[in-house]
Amino acid sequence: MKEDLYIYDILSDVYKGESYGERALNRSHAKGAFVTRAVYGVLERDTHYEYVIGKLVQKRPKPYAVILLKMGFYMLDYMDSIPDYAAVNRVLDCAQELGKGAIKGFLNAVFRKYMTEGVKLPKSPAQKLSVTASVPLWIVNKYISQYGWERAEEFLSKEPFTKQHIRHNARRTTHEELGKQLDKLGAGYEDSGLGYFVDWGEKLYPLFDGGYITMQSLTSMKCCLAAGVRDGDDVLDVCSAPGGKAIYLSENAKITVTCCDIHEHRVELIKSYARRMGADNLEYRVCDCAKEQFKPIYDVVLCDVPCSGLGVAFSKPDIYLRRKREDIPALTETQQAILNNASSALKLNGKLIYSTCTTLKEENLDVVSEFLRTHINFEQESSTQYLPDGKGEEGFYVAVLRRKS
């Protein structure tokens, strides 16, 4: 079937590093719900299926065979509408279409062994959680050490929340009016208080293209609200692209927001976003915010720094494929450099917002603690670590710091 070839091609691009998961999932959406579900499902269960392959196969297969095996495992486990024999045949046919017919016997043997014998889970609690939650073991061990076993198991075992969070554009409509519009369109939704959780689809395209709605996570919005911007504030948003936080801040009060990012093409992303939303109170700068010499003229500085992204891995499962343990020290060094430098842009009594979309202490509490240790003219007003709750809230960290005399 062509669907299976689409699934294979998209997964191949992701595993080879030629496409990010989100971009690939957008491609898969264009091919239909079945393709989207399969691509997303395989990426989501990658750690689990790596373990399964290791138990069922003595010598690791070629990359193309690994992808076909994972496709088959996912169809066998989760595609209830497809009988087991049909799921196996689909993958074998896909192998034939790819010119890999020579491995059909091998694939068939592995699938039959999987269906008849299954795979025993590890005895070690941490390893077992890694397999069942499909999260790399090094991350599981970090969470256990930082949050304790019960809390780590609780949030890692949550089922992924698949709905998209949208919000209204305050320049063009209201939260209540958007709810009425969704009713008229027959689009199912859940009210989050700040926006709506929806199943994204064609019904919503006109509202999006017209700038009446935009996608923004609930935790990202809460981060912006923590800034508490007021009319007349001058706001600096470092690492601003693609601009969601800056534009939301610009709707909350009569303010000017200066958006900075290190690359011209990323600043162009912000400009494009702002045009769609009608945000005309933004200014733009291309600069390295870890080195730029800022003047202390801002009331609020937002540092949404580059991070491991582990807090949003439930919605972007390829993060687990790309992120390595050795990445963390370099990330924390960058985070500290940006925070240290951006703090110089604040007026006296100004607020510094430090945020990440990760759940690791090294990138959050430790970075802020080190900053406060070396900047005695700052005090912490709040520090909040959000953990994935399976209801739409993602892993996110927000600290509010104030410059004192």
pLDDT at 21: 61
Q: What angle do CA 77, 110, 320 make, to 5 degrees?
A: 55
Residue range(s) of every CATH 3.30.70.1170 domain in the chain: 164-214
Return the CATH fold of 220-403: Rossmann fold (3.40.50)
At residue 196, φ and ψ (nearest 5 deg) are -140, 140
The answer regarding whether domain 2-117 maps to CATH 1.10.940.10 reads yes
Residue range(s) of every CATH 1.10.940.10 domain in the chain: 2-117
Kind and range of the H or E run holding 12? helix 2-15
Q: What is the pTM of this model?
A: 0.92
Can you give the pLDDT of all 405 residues of the chain as single tens digits? 788 999 999 999 999 876 666 666 565 555 677 888 899 899 999 999 999 999 999 999 999 999 999 999 999 999 999 999 999 999 999 999 999 999 999 999 999 999 999 999 999 999 999 999 999 999 999 999 999 999 999 999 988 888 999 999 999 999 999 999 999 999 999 999 999 999 988 899 999 999 999 999 999 999 999 999 999 999 999 999 999 999 999 999 999 999 999 999 999 999 999 999 999 999 999 999 999 999 999 999 999 999 999 999 988 888 999 999 999 999 999 999 999 999 999 999 999 999 999 999 999 999 999 999 999 999 999 999 999 999 999 999 999 999 997
pLDDT at 91: 97
Is the Cβ–Cβ distance between 359 and 385 less than 8 Å? yes
Query: In sequence order, what DSSP letters do the residues of 320-338 get, joined into one string?
Result: HHH--TTHHHHHHHHHHHH
Say which DSSP state 310 is in. Answer: G
pLDDT at 28: 54
Q: Where are the beta strands (DSSP E) in 170-318?
A: 189-191, 196-198, 213-215, 234-238, 256-261, 282-286, 298-304
pLDDT at 274: 97
The letter for the amino acid at 66 is V
Residue range(s) of every CATH 3.40.50.150 domain in the chain: 220-403
Which CATH entry fits the domain spanning 164-214: 3.40.1350.10, 3.10.450.50, 3.30.450.20, 3.30.70.1170?
Answer: 3.30.70.1170
pLDDT at 162: 84
